Chains A and B, each alone.
Chain A
Amino acid sequence: MNAYAFYLATILIYAAVDAMACLALNTEFGFAGISNFGFIIFQSAGAYTAAVLSMPRAATSNGGFQSYVLGWNLPWPFPWIGAAIVGGLLALPFVFLVGKRLRGDFAAVGLLVSAVLLNVLVKDFVPFLNGAAGVSIVPAPFQSIWNPQGLAYQFAYGGVAIVLTVIVYFLLKRITESPYGRSLRAMRDNDIVADSLGKNLRQNRTSMLVLGGAIAGLSGAILVGFISLWAPGAWGYAETIVFFAAIIVGGAGNHKGAILGAILVPVGFEEITRYIPPLANPSLVPSLQWVAIGLLIVLFLWFRPDGILPERRRILSGTPIPPPPPPTETSEEIDNEVLVKIGNVDELNFRHLLRLKDLKNDGRVILSTRGLTKSFNDVTVVSDVSFDILQGRVTGLIGPNGAGKSTTLAMLAGTLPSSGGTITYEGEDITSLASYKRANRGLVRTFQLASEFKKLTVLENLVSAIPNQSGDSFWGSLQGRRKWGSEDKANIERAEEVLDGFGLAQYADAYAGGLSGGQRRLVEIMRALLAEPKVLLLDEPMAGVHPNLAHKIGDQLTRMARDGMTILMVEHELSLMDAFCDPVIVLAEGRVLAQGTMSELRKNTEVVEAYLVG
């Protein structure tokens, strides 16, 4: 009976430690979209820290057969606190890998390789943490209260581990279910777009790596306090893959899924293999265990990519009607017919909705470029482009394919760095200002390609763009609903009003990724408007949108411009240019060819030729 009880207690402790680690990794990977392939080093850092903080000085311990740093002999809980701190701090060197410039998979291999090399270094450099043998005889944390050999100790330890895991669960839930969590998921779905809406990618990712690292460190501390030894063999880089397998099986982006995955994969696998009788080849079972982990990953990603407990869809709107099954094909024309009837976009009071009250239309130069140039290696795509955008105007930007329109727009928004020239916004040189900062100052862009946050609902897409949300920061999210609840409710209502105006109210709670092409364009326009832009940069906003609706939206944009919003629009559809844009800038082969009203441009033979020839 006693043996079973011991076994049960052991399992409980392992389950709690693995669940805590999986919760942390899932927050990084499933919510914030950071593929931390080096996760195991954070857990390991915590384990080592807790060990050397609680162990006596190396020279005095057990005849000095181990060599390690520190050895402060601290009582509980200080080693555990230290473990969490070191786990969090370990994230800081990786800040360089998680900015906007580096592809997610490149950052991931950077972390993977770091894990491999740190393991080699710790193993080979014995004075640091006793090399390959690792640190052992780590003091049991509560031995002053209970006898570590007794059953009471085992269950008390398991209890502490479970309580801490539950605290972590609620802490992470508080963060991920806040407006900040919404931003994290937006960043996960499309980081470049989140950046263009004012989200600071590097800061958000760093916060999540530090938080995840601290929790992983704590889990390592709990583990080492129980098993009392920690060596490089226990934290090979492949251990991270086990945690990834757990999250993929359980369900990325779902905290309960992470816990379920932790119980099924690391705990379950370890335990099941205990019952396999020893075979002739002693390495067979461990080898097959790894093969099984590999198979789990591949098969789950293929057959059930969302895991056993998929990410929950957040229902924000009051509309109880489930969304109609979104069309699979991008039959844009057809479903826009419906929209034209339903949408009352011309009745919306955008001035109120977009908080344009304090914006004055004084017609000054708000955005200008001088000698703006972009080269990729030897190819110059935009060369020496200079123009002024006047406040309160809808300026058009046209030109044949490959003229550099989108590139120019991307440089204005900061999505692409320019190779030469200057950009001035509101009298200030912003040439080298980060794009999210430009967005926060009211310079907002849309994208030519689909850029919705796929696994956010339509309403979430819209709300995520609203600036200055008090719950949209790490600390804000920690303060809970009392801090941001009523404000968020107001934001949701505001977004619903816009959504209703564009005739998409019935899709409020549908995943944006399931909409048709034309609908997604609309979501993007609405989202950009809710970002409260002073200058709105639109890249082919009406592509795939029904012409009638396009004209209604154009009317609204003109009205907003009259109220003080400035718009720069790239568009191929010349009838829209005729109707709404004044002036129009013509780009051809990376240069400004002409500028003026459409009727002036139509008389310009050079322009006409560029279009016909190009």
Chain B
Amino acid sequence: MPSFGFGLVTAAVLAIATVGFTMQFAVTNVLNLAYGSIMINSAFVAYYANVHGVTAWASLPFGVVTGSVASYALNRFVFTPFQRRNRAPITVVIVALGVDLIGTFGLQAIVGGSYVSYRQSLGHEYHILGMFLSGLQLIILAISVVVLFTIHWLLRYTRLGKAMRATSANPNLARNSGVKTQFIISTTWLISGALCGLAGVVFAMNTGVFEATSAQLYIVLLLAAMFLGGPGEPYGAMFGALVIGLSTEISAAYVNPQYKEVIAFVVLLGMLTFRPYGIFGSEKTL
């Protein structure tokens, strides 16, 4: 069962990332392909805090704030202006790809191409239910569970969460019903950006060593998890992340680990072909 443990941790990181990604899609209808670049930038900001004497866990907030501010700014100063000009969704996606290049390689230009890692110990190794998990991995799992429950509470039981869901379902109707959609969209980007930053740091911690382009292919897993659960569906994203996280790691144990993303790829193309609105999503999401 060791691969199950790895899968669980991969899924935990992926779930944080996918929930943020899908929330952004839900309120602004943008596939934010620059998500991975913000993740890795956040990871590097936390890394530099770590290098300058902050402990690895205490550097987490640096990453979270970076992700939050960068995502908010990206939506406010790039995506929204393009959407206001009535550019087609595909134009905004191309812009996102351009921003991804700027973010990823701008970072590479600054930090160089070498691999780095946080100054942190993996902690004790625990043997639970046949899985071997390091202390680090257990903390990542715990963070993920806490974060996902917080998101659940936010969406279900707060006015803000209800307004977010209303904005996602029908922005015009929400606005006409008195929801301050602009404020809700901004808040969603701040929150989802925080998730993006958090995901970036725990992703980097879990990977061990990382460099500027390490998160470039992460978008494949993100998209697969999101489309599995239905685009714009936070709960679907959690489910999708669990399935993709577990299946990639478990398949890696049985076939060549270099092909582990293949299952995510097959899932994504299958979903796009047969059920682009996800297993739980409705046709209207399109």
Contacts and interface: CB of A to CB of B under 8 A. Distances in A.
Contacts of A110: 268-269, 272
A177 interface: no
A284 B113 CA distance: 9
A282 B98 CA distance: 23
Contact of B258 (A109, A116, A120, A282): A120
B272 A283 contact: no
A124 B256 contact: yes
Interface stretch (B177-185, B190-198, B259-267): B259-267
23 contacts: A96-B272, A97-B273, A108-B93, A109-B272, A113-B219, A113-B220, A113-B269, A120-B261, A120-B262, A244-B97, A281-B112, A282-B113, A283-B108, A287-B108, A288-B109, A290-B101, A294-B97, A297-B97, A298-B98, A301-B95, A302-B81, A305-B91, A376-B284
Given A124-B259, A287-B106, A241 B265 contact: no
A291 B101 contact: yes
Interface string A279-320: 001111011111101111110011001000000000000000
Contacts of A288: 105, 109
Given A113-B268, A281-B112, A294-B98, A105 B282 contact: no
Interface stretch (B82-90, B151-159, B201-209): B82-90
B282 A293 contact: no
Contacts of B236: none
B261 to A, nearest CB: 6
Given A37-B97, A97-B272, A113-B223, 11 more contacts: A113-B265, A117-B265, A124-B259, A248-B94, A283-B113, A287-B105, A293-B101, A294-B99, A295-B98, A297-B101, A301-B98
A293 B97 CA distance: 10
A108 B95 contact: no
Contacts of B88: 104
B286 interface: yes
B276 interface: yes
A241 B269 contact: no
Interface in B227-286: 227, 231, 256, 258-259, 261-262, 265, 268-269, 272-273, 276, 282-284, 286
A152 interface: no
Interface in B38-60: none
Given A124-B259, A293-B98, A301 B269 contact: no
Nearest 3 CB-CB pairings of A with B? A294-B101, A297-B98, A290-B105
Contact of B102 (A37, A113, A238, A291): A291
A103 interface: yes
B75 interface: no
A149 B231 CA distance: 55
B246 to A, nearest CB: 19
Given A291-B106, A376-B283, A114 B269 contact: yes
Contacts of B102: 291, 294-295, 298
A105 B89 contact: yes
Nearest to A286: B105
A608 interface: no
Contacts of B128: none
Contacts of B93: 35, 105, 108-109
Nearest to B101: A294
A287 B109 contact: yes
A163 interface: no
B217 interface: yes
Grouping DSSP codes into helix (H, G, I), strand (E, B) and loop, the A interface class, with mixed when no group exceeds half, is: helix
A377 interface: yes
Interface in A233-256: 238, 241, 244-245, 248
Interface string A119-146: 0110010000000000000000000000
B276 A103 contact: yes
Given A241-B97, A291-B101, A106 B91 contact: no
Given A283-B108, A297-B97, A121 B262 contact: yes
A281 B113 CA distance: 9
Nearest to A377: B282
B31 interface: yes
A110 B31 CA distance: 12
A104 B89 contact: yes
Contacts of A37: 97
Nearest to A417: B283
A124 B259 CA distance: 8
A382 to B, nearest CB: 14
Nearest to A513: B86
B83 to A, nearest CB: 12
B78 interface: yes
Contacts of B91: 301, 305
Nearest to A117: B265
B90 A35 contact: yes
B223 A109 contact: yes
A489 interface: no
Contacts of B78: 298
Contacts of A117: 220, 261-262, 265
A18 to B, nearest CB: 18
A101 interface: yes
B33 interface: yes
A37 B95 CA distance: 13
A105 B286 CA distance: 11
Contacts of A238: 101
Nearest to B284: A376
Quick one: which of A108, A287, A302 has the most chain B CB within 10 A? Answer: A287
A39 to B, nearest CB: 13
Interface in A191-245: 238, 241, 244-245
B90 A105 contact: yes
Nearest to A244: B94
A21 interface: no
A102 interface: yes
A583 B256 CA distance: 68
A571 to B, nearest CB: 23
B273 A96 contact: yes
A377 B279 CA distance: 12
A107 interface: yes
A104 B90 contact: yes
Nearest to A119: B217
B94 A121 contact: no
